[in-house]
Amino acid sequence: MGDPEAGLYGWPTIWEAKPHMALFQQETFGPTINLVKVNGIDEAIDVANRVDYGLSSAIYTNHREWAYAFKHNIQAGMTSINNSTTGAEAHVPFGGVKGSGNGTRESGIWVLESYTYWQAVNDDISGKLQLAQMDTDYIAPKSAFDVNALTA
């Protein structure tokens, strides 16, 4: 369907990437994987958060403290632990942070807030002024009340 001469195409490839490389910083759609060598979970999270995107993230580990650190510190709209980042579930929020997505959380009940403009409207067609949200007549004020009479 497409013109192969009009785009960049490549074979499935594993790249050894570094954070300063364009390959690391830009979203690459294709059969590629970027591998970045790091020293430990803290550096892994730091390096992962250096990109301008944050749609989805995943960690595979049996180390529960690493999983906890990852889920609390990764900058992504969706995070998987010992599971893939593919697919979306209709009952959970879908969307990214930073340069990923449009700032909303689609799917589930969150979609209501994303696509709804809430407005309260009060429309009275009686033609009369409403006081304290009740149709009432004006009352003439009573005479002044003597507060000192209460203490006598």
Domain that holds residue 16: 4-87
Instruction: Confirm whether 35 is domain-assigned.
Output: yes
Domain count, the chain: 1
Instruction: Confirm whether 134 is domain-assigned.
Output: no
Instruction: Confirm whether 101 is domain-assigned.
Output: no
Q: Are 44 and 20 in contact (CB under 8 A)?
A: no
Range 72-79 contact pairs with CB under 8 angstroms and sequence separation of 24 or more? 73/45, 73/49, 74/45, 74/48, 74/49, 75/48, 75/49, 77/101, 77/105
For position 18, what pLDDT does the model report? 93
Domain with residue 40: its CATH number is 3.40.309.10
For position 4, what pLDDT does the model report? 72
Residue 69 banded pLDDT, cuts 50, 70, 90: very high
Instruction: Confirm whether 115 is domain-assigned.
Output: no
Instruction: Confirm whether 58 is domain-assigned.
Output: yes
For position 38, what pLDDT does the model report? 96
Instruction: Confirm whether 15 is domain-assigned.
Output: yes
pLDDT in tens, 13-30: 899 999 999 888 887 777
Q: Are 56 and 38 in contact (CB under 8 A)?
A: no
pLDDT in tens, 108-121: 676 777 677 777 77
pTM here?
Answer: 0.60
Instruction: Find tokens 């689609």 and name the residue.
Output: 106
* Spatial distance between the Cα atoms of 103 and 105, rounded to a whole number of angstroms: 7
